[in-house]
Amino acid sequence: MNPEKIAGEFSVSEGMSVADFGSGAGYFTIILGQMVGESGKVYALDIQETALDNVRVKTKAVGLKNIEAIRTNLEVVGSSGLPDNSQDMVLLANILFQSDKKSEIILEAKRVLKSSSRLVLIDWRMGTGGFGPPDERRTDEVAMRNLVTGEGFVFERSFDAGQFHYGMIFVKP
């Protein structure tokens, strides 16, 4: 996966507020922080404090002051601590395959997104071989699209997220 190339698909601009759900070590977080600029804000949310420590180190190393790392369990609606209708975009990159509570994570994204804002989803393709999680942990692209639209989002478009992943953009009505 090429985060720099993929992030170009997100329609992120200066001044936006973006939540990176399941940020991990911050591959997208840092890029998003650069894209939203000083007038924007990126929230890196993860359950693992060690991952957030990596985000903090990288943020400091590149001199960004617009990224806030928050430890939270995104499987609990309301747990992010972000206000309702506060985000211009939520990114779910390689997080849903890890959870048996996908709907709860999607609903938390819906809660924090402003109306007409985007949910960007990247996850593992089925049947791509031994790289990544086993197929039992992956969700077929059509099933994932149906899950997200079933939670009230409108499908906007798919995008190329590389050989092993699919990418989709949804809009909160």
Sorting pLDDT into bands at 50, 70 and 90, what band is 1? confident
From the number of C-beta atoms within 10 Å of its C-beta (0-12, 13-18, 19+), residue 9 rates as: middle
pLDDT digits 0-9 by tens, 122-163: 999 998 876 888 888 999 999 999 999 999 999 999 999 999
Encoding tokens for residue 126? 């089925």
Pairwise CA distance, residues 48 & 39, whole Å: 27
pLDDT of residue 166: 96
Sorting pLDDT into bands at 50, 70 and 90, what band is 80? very high
Q: Give the global pTM.
A: 0.96
Q: Are 121 and 163 in contact (CB under 8 A)?
A: no
Q: Could you tell me if residue 127 is left (phi over 0), alpha (psi between -120 and 50 degrees) or otherwise beta?
A: left
Supply the DSSP symbol for 2: -
Q: Where are the beta strands (DSSP E) in 59-129?
A: 67-71, 87-93, 113-124
Helices (H), 63-118: 102-112
